[in-house]
């Protein structure tokens, strides 16, 4: 069964990301917006136990009753849970117990596949796999942030899905003529509910860059006083600059007139040809203003990605100027699964594309990622647009 093979492959990929982590690495929580690796390992397993095994496997016995409280994330309808900012306090259960939990659930899932699950159950399992892939990316971003707070600046090899690539120095512009286009997911293959509601959208003439912004281009923005010129920033963005005292992207630091960046090889010199990453929305928008250009709307991005897919291979998630809102006809599903996306459609901006940490085949042209505009820890960058 193809789904059973995908299940095993996806679950193994999660373990591969964590293979070089020591038990002590898996407990630390550097900030509230991150989660410890051990929690990700357990929560992605909790999803299958809660939404598949408890519901569909007759006579299923929980691995540990306390795990429902410990590893629920944000599902209000499923009861009480550990506060998000306290996930790093979970020194117990031990990491070995979490791996036992994964093995136990995986063994029980084999019984589900042997019973030839129907369409509704298969759809739930597919959602669980897509959910685990999201947590694979979060495992990378959260753990990188945690290591960045360690004064030893340790190296780490997380088995990334894509490699950093040097970008060409010259930007070419891809032209899109005025048109009424279809936005949103169509077809029968998997998508998240926030992609549904295919609808028409009018686009004016525009051109979009054939690559994302590089470190060299962002260095020029910094050198030109980008972080000291209030006129480049949105009001909320300038308030963030003043309170955060930021002068560069996350993980950048200047030593002896040289810019360095913390990455998977520890602290090293910045490669000017690599995509600039770990920017928040405010930084992306300010850079675009400095260039006399702008960020794309998510509708412009999706249209360009469909027409010119060769220029939109995953590198960094790219901020759009679109707020995260429901498409026409969007409906929140009944039950706990309905809490997956819809309730977060407030105070967040949409990102498109995919990053070096996005599992292969996970993102697509209609995929809508979303984060609060002040957050930098994702592999997020910039693609520019100009009006014609």
Q: Model confidence over 65-77: pLDDT tens digits? A: 999 999 999 999 9
Please give the residue that has the higher pLDDT: either 349 or 163.
349
Give the pTM: 0.96
**Strand extents, DSSP E, 172-314:** 173-176, 179-183, 199-203, 206-209, 252-255, 258-263, 266-269
CA angle at 348 for the pair 272 and 228, rounded to the nearest 5°: 45
Average pLDDT, the chain: 96
What local confidence, expressed as pLDDT, does residue 332 receive? 87
Assigned fold of 173-387 = 3.90.1580
Report percent pLDDT > 90 for the chain: 94
What kind of architecture, by CATH, is found in domain 2-148?
Up-down Bundle (1.20)
pLDDT at position 388 is: 87
Where do the domains of the chain lie?
A: 2-148, 173-387
* Backbone phi, psi, residue 26, to 5°: -85, 0
Judge whether residue 101 has pLDDT over 70.
yes
């Amino acid at each position: 069964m193809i789904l059973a093979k995908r299940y095993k492959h996806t679950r193994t990929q999660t373990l591969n990301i964590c293979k070089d982590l020591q038990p002590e690495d898996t407990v630390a929580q550097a900030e509230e917006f991150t989660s410890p690796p051990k929690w990700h390992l357990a929560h992605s397993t909790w999803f299958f136990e809660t939404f598949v095994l408890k519901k569909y496997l007759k006579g299923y016995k929980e691995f540990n009753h306390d795990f429902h409280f410990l590893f629920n994330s944000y599902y209000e309808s499923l009861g009480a849970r550990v506060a998000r900012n306290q996930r790093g306090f979970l020194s117990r259960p031990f990491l070995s117990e979490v791996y036992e939990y994964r093995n136990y659930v995986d063994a029980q899932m084999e019984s589900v596949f042997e019973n030839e699950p129907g369409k509704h159950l298969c759809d739930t399992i597919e959602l669980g796999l897509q959910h685990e892939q999201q947590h694979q990316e979060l495992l990378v971003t959260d753990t990188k942030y945690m290591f960045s707070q360690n004064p030893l600046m340790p190296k780490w090899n997380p088995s990334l899905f894509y490699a950093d690539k040097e970008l060409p120095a010259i930007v070419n512009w891809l032209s899109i003529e005025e048109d009424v286009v279809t936005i949103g997911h169509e077809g029968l293959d998997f998508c998240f509910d926030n992609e549904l509601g295919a609808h028409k959208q009018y686009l004016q003439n525009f051109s979009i860059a054939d690559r994302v912004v590089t470190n060299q281009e962002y260095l020029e923005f910094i050198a030109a006083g980008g972080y000291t010129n209030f006129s480049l920033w949105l009001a909320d963005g300038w308030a963030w600059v003043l309170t955060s005292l930021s002068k560069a992207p996350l993980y950048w630091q200047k030593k002896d007139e040289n810019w360095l960046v913390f990455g998977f090889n520890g602290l090293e010199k910045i490669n000017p040809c690599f995509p600039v990453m770990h920017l928040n929305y405010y930084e992306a928008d300010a850079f675009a203003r400095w260039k006399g250009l702008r960020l794309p709307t998510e509708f412009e991005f999706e249209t360009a990605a469909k027409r010119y897919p060769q220029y939109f291979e995953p590198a960094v998630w790219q901020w759009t100027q679109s707020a995260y809102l429901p498409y026409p006809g969007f409906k929140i599903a009944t039950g706990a699964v309905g809490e997956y996306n819809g309730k977060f459609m407030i105070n967040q901006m949409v990102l498109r594309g995919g990053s070096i940490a996005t599992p292969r085949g996970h993102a697509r042209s209609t995929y809508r990622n979303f984060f609060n505009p002040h957050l930098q820890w994702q592999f997020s960058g910039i693609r520019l647009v100009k009006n014609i």
